[in-house]
A and B are shown apart, each in its own frame.
Chain A
Amino acid sequence: MKPPVPTFAIIGHPNEGKSSVVATLAEDDGVRISPVPGETTQLERFDLKVGKERIMEFVDTPGFQNPSRTLAWFRANAEADDLVANYIQEHQKLTEHRHDCELMRPVADGAGILYVVDGSRPITSADQAEMEILRLTGKPRMAIINSKDDDTQFIDAWKAAFRKSFNAIRIFNACGASFVDRIDLLDALKSVDQDWSPGLEHAVSALRKDWKRREERVFEVIVDLLEQALNFNKSKLVSRESDLEMAKPDLEANYRKGLEAIESRAWAEIRRQYRHKQLSISLPDTSILNEDLFSDKTWQAFGLTGKQLTLAASAAGAGLGVGLDVAAGGIAFGIFTAAGAAVGAGAAILKGKDLAKLKVRHIPVGGFKMQIGPNKNPQFPFILLDRAILYAQHASNWAHARQNREISISDTSLKEGSSSSWTARQRGFCMTVFEAIRKRRFEKLDKLYPDFKDILAQELKLRHQD
């Protein structure tokens, strides 16, 4: 039998970041968060689901509005049974106490208390009143210090104050929390009340499994992206030779659009895996991710340098016995050989915007067939891969409470893609994978993918730890 779904009420003073904590814990960027106090005026319930299964429930509540009077009432009635329910019953018709009654409702219904404070400010008498009220409820509770800014001078005072009335204390930055931070918080909740343990055990285990599943899915999405992009081409039939030049720009534009669409679909799926409905990774114009695949800037920032590529090719060729398709039958523009001098020449050419060479074939029955792609450039898959990794890293690490829905990565913050930090052997292995993808050697790919997945998983994990 499944344990009951643990429910937690997020309680606190107005404008302390309660909704932010809920958004991050429930992975829901639809939670209304505002810098102005009083955004939340009614209870709002948010389910944390794995698939269709509800594994936890978080209740966002309005802030305390009458801590002094509420405390006075609690103290005066401390001996009474069912204190919280009595408080609600006695005050629910008073407009002034509407928020206080509302925030007490989930507590009366048995929800655990997560008391959220902004640790970057000093403690006031109102905070002490709220802590005392929650102590008097007698319900299991944890204090969450959610610092809104970097000021840490008051954290120790908060901790000291919480030790008197809370079963557990946790520092949790709602806007910067990663998956690991969230799991740690949920793990810590187990110690607050033994009764919560089974439900939380189940929830944590389900979350871990789900995270693993997401990583698997992201890997599949990236592989799918590579398979589609590396074999992508566009063609057009033209009746007269004189029309060839005129048709060329359209064909190039279509090819470019097609590649962008493939990449956009992959990114949308990555975003969906990490439950970002409103996040849009639209970066400033100068940012690398906003540069298209064909820009000089992208070439310089992603993929490998000429030297790295040479070493990778050597590893691929010598170590794995796979040769490079040098000129790709005249279709691909990128000219690449294992020879150093030729690589130098190739790298110079690669800095240009042309990626895929246009091929024109005369059709015996009349007319011409123009075709652009597939792209045979050895840099190209590394660029795609680096961009996808970067995207996945941000999507997985972006806390749902963050109000800026646009990730901004300045050019200076990212000088090079992930692949440039890999070993020559790893890169060489990747080139083997890319080659197999290009040649559609699926049996071989089935053997290569486990190791390829390890490389990507390692990269994503490394960035998590960062």
Chain B
Amino acid sequence: MPEENKQPAPDSRSRNGQHDETWTLKDLISFEAAVAKDGNESWEKLEKRDNAIGQEAPRDLLNGSRNRALLKFWLNRIKDEDSHENVIFDAYRLASKLLFAMAIFAGGSIALELLQYLGAKPINVSAFFGLLILLQATLTLTTFGLLALPSSKAKHLRLSLGFQILKPVALSLAGMLANVTTKGLRGDQRESLLSLLGKTRSSLFLYGSVLRWKLFQTLQGTAVAFNLGALAAILLVIAFSDKAFGWQTTLDLNSDAIHSLIRFVAIPWSWLWGEGLGYPSHADIEGSRIVLKDGIQGLSSEHLVSWWPFLSLGIFVYGLLPRSVFVLWTHIRLRASLKKLDFSHGSAQRIIERMKRPSVGFNSEKVQHEKHESDDGAVGTQMASLAPQSEGTTLAFVNESIWQQTDEGQLAQKITESLNLQLENLKLFQLTLEKIAQPNELPIGSENENALLVLVFESWMPPLEETKRLLRELRSRLKRETPIRILLTGKPASGSSFQKPVSTELEMWSLTISQLGDPYCLVDPLV
């Protein structure tokens, strides 16, 4: 973007002087869309862009550890540079509006169908009551029950015997489906499909709670629209036409039982509108019973119209009201879920690294290092600090052939430069064939749960099944959020062991690693 066209940097502070850390769903979608778009850009370009954004960011934000605020700043700058609308979010909003309109229409249509009155006999309230009140009340209670269930109970439910039986069946079916689906595909199509599945798993892990609440909110919003439609239909029908309501049953039920049921259902509003007003009285019920052999001549108009307030209030109390409460409730939960996002996953961290990395030209700084062999065979390297991002331990496992052909000091320097790490805490290990075959022999345990794990591989060697297995094994021994970074070095050229990987090789590795569905595992170039 030409300098003269640049927008002024948005003020990252809110009114109270704090940095803007608010993330909306729209922001989140924009962020993920921007990250996905970055996947098609060159590393150099991204490095330059994010570095420039980092230069513009307030110092306290850049030097702090508030990922949310820093990334919001980044997102705002990206939005300034890319004026394209958030297509995904707009599509979602349009779909929601359409869904809402369709729900109103469906609710109104169903209510009108159930209120059809041809004059021959009164409208049977049983169907209306059963479908629009009783069924809705049951669904509302079930939803409420699920929401009220403590999370530990929900987990228990998942682990229940039934779930344990169903899970392997579902997984094997999914596996068979995947095999059948991918069999006819070309290699690149197959890899892309698996990558898409992996990325979906990643997203669900990171934003599962947000997506769950958003989906729930949409469903409840649709239900609200449905009830609005139904309620509007009944009120309009009552207002502009003369309807007669009655009830009938083949079962041996007398009016006492029906009255008890109606009174019970009307408890929520009976304190305001009592018998005869908010719900039919015993006499109304008795007087609106349709008996086929007797016809309707004997029924009185007063009894036949006594039902509509009950039906309307039933829809309002058991349909519209709870669904509206659920919408508000999910809105609060959605905001809470958005607030919990810490943006510690790989792609977010990479952006922060690029923003924080010293600008181009820094490499000329003279770096001192010394090597020492530790008891566990690791080579510790101490180097001058490079304004590090991470202060925790970094364990770097370097593939055997790279280890044998390069100088450990240089290797350590490249790793720390690449990830903007503190060097004092870097430990290098040789990743031998034996260790790949038996990853449990790697010196990783609960004491390294918070460490940054780095794996260095040759970019020109495609990642294998055993590479993925190694990563899965490492993940199983670490916390789910422990970052794992794969650094790739290109084919050595004469005079230098460290070369930039070819972009197609980087893409190939990224594609394969994304299939793991691990949002905390990323692929980067070593140099």
Bound-state CA distance A151–B491 (Å) is 11
Bound-state CA distance A69–B441 (Å) is 14
Quick check: B491 and A122 within 8 Å, CB to CB?
Answer: yes
Q: Is A45 close to B, CB under 8 A?
A: no
> A123 to chain B: which residues have CB within 8 Å?
401
Specify which of A66, A71, A72 is in contact with B464 (CB 8 Å cutoff). A66
Q: Is B481 close to A, CB under 8 A?
A: no
Q: Which of B191, B464, B466, B491 has the most CB of A within 10 A?
A: B464
Q: Which of A36, A69, A123 has the most CB of B within 10 A?
A: A36
> B190 to chain A: which residues have CB within 8 Å?
38, 41
Bound-state CA distance A123–B492 (Å) is 11
Query: Nearest chain-A residue to B436 (Cβ)?
Result: A68
Quick check: B400 and A125 within 8 Å, CB to CB?
Answer: yes
Quick check: A122 and B401 within 8 Å, CB to CB?
Answer: yes
> B150 to chain A: which residues have CB within 8 Å?
none
Q: A122-B401, A124-B399 are in contact. Are A35 and B464 (CB under 8 A)?
A: no
Q: Which of B135-143, B373-381, B455-463 contacts A (4 or more CB under 8 A)?
A: B455-463
Interface residues of A in 63-80 (CB under 8 A from B): 63-69, 71-72
> A34 to chain B: which residues have CB within 8 Å?
186-188
> How many B residues touch A, CB cutoff 8 Å?
28
Q: Is A141 close to B, CB under 8 A?
A: no
Quick check: A99 and B466 within 8 Å, CB to CB?
Answer: no
Bound-state CA distance A445–B494 (Å) is 62
The total number of A-B Cβ pairs within 8 Å is 85
Chain B 507-523 interface 0/1 with A at a Cβ cutoff of 8 Å (1 = within): 01000000000000000
Interface residues of B in 394-449 (CB under 8 A from A): 399-401, 405, 432-434, 436-438
Quick check: B187 and A129 within 8 Å, CB to CB?
Answer: no
Quick check: A15 and B433 within 8 Å, CB to CB?
Answer: no
> A99 to chain B: which residues have CB within 8 Å?
465
Q: Is A37 close to B, CB under 8 A?
A: yes
> B433 to chain A: which residues have CB within 8 Å?
67-68, 71-72, 125-126, 129
Q: Which of B191, B460, B461, B494 has the most CB of A within 10 A?
A: B461
Q: A122-B491, A125-B400 are in contact. Are A39 and B464 (CB under 8 A)?
A: no
Q: A65-B466, A99-B465, A121-B460 are in contact. Are A71 and B437 (CB under 8 A)?
A: yes
Interface range on chain A (Cβ under 8 Å from partner) = 20 to 34
Quick check: B466 and A69 within 8 Å, CB to CB?
Answer: yes
Bound-state CA distance A97–B468 (Å) is 12
Nearest CB in chain A: distance from B495 CB, A = 11
> B188 to chain A: which residues have CB within 8 Å?
34, 36, 39
Q: Is A32 close to B, CB under 8 A?
A: yes
Quick check: B432 and A125 within 8 Å, CB to CB?
Answer: yes
Bound-state CA distance A34–B461 (Å) is 15
Quick check: A68 and B434 within 8 Å, CB to CB?
Answer: yes
Bound-state CA distance A15–B462 (Å) is 7
Quick check: B462 and A37 within 8 Å, CB to CB?
Answer: yes
Query: Nearest chain-A residue to B472 (Cβ)?
Result: A96
> A271 to chain B: which residues have CB within 8 Å?
none
> A96 to chain B: which residues have CB within 8 Å?
465-466, 469
Query: Nearest chain-B residue to A129 (Cβ)?
Result: B433
Quick check: B466 and A38 within 8 Å, CB to CB?
Answer: no
Quick check: A69 and B191 within 8 Å, CB to CB?
Answer: no
Quick check: B494 and A153 within 8 Å, CB to CB?
Answer: yes
> B187 to chain A: which residues have CB within 8 Å?
32, 34, 36-41
Query: Nearest chain-A residue to B458 (Cβ)?
Result: A124
Bound-state CA distance A69–B467 (Å) is 11
Quick check: A126 and B461 within 8 Å, CB to CB?
Answer: yes
Chain B positions near chain A (C-beta within 8 angstroms): 186-188, 190-191, 399-401, 405, 432-434, 436-438, 458, 460-462, 464-466, 469, 491-492, 494, 504, 508
Chain A positions near chain B (C-beta within 8 angstroms): 13-15, 32, 34-41, 63-69, 71-72, 96-97, 99, 121-126, 129, 151, 153
What are 28 contact pairs spanning A and B, CB under 8 A?
A13-B461, A13-B462, A15-B462, A32-B186, A32-B187, A36-B508, A37-B187, A38-B190, A64-B464, A65-B464, A65-B466, A66-B465, A68-B437, A69-B466, A72-B434, A96-B465, A96-B469, A99-B465, A121-B460, A122-B401, A122-B405, A122-B492, A124-B399, A124-B401, A124-B458, A124-B461, A126-B433, A126-B461
In the complex, besides A38-B187, A72-B434, 20 extra interface pairs with C-beta distance below 8 angstroms are A15-B462, A32-B186, A34-B188, A37-B462, A38-B190, A38-B191, A39-B188, A40-B187, A64-B464, A66-B469, A67-B464, A69-B437, A69-B466, A71-B433, A72-B438, A122-B492, A124-B400, A124-B401, A125-B433, A151-B491
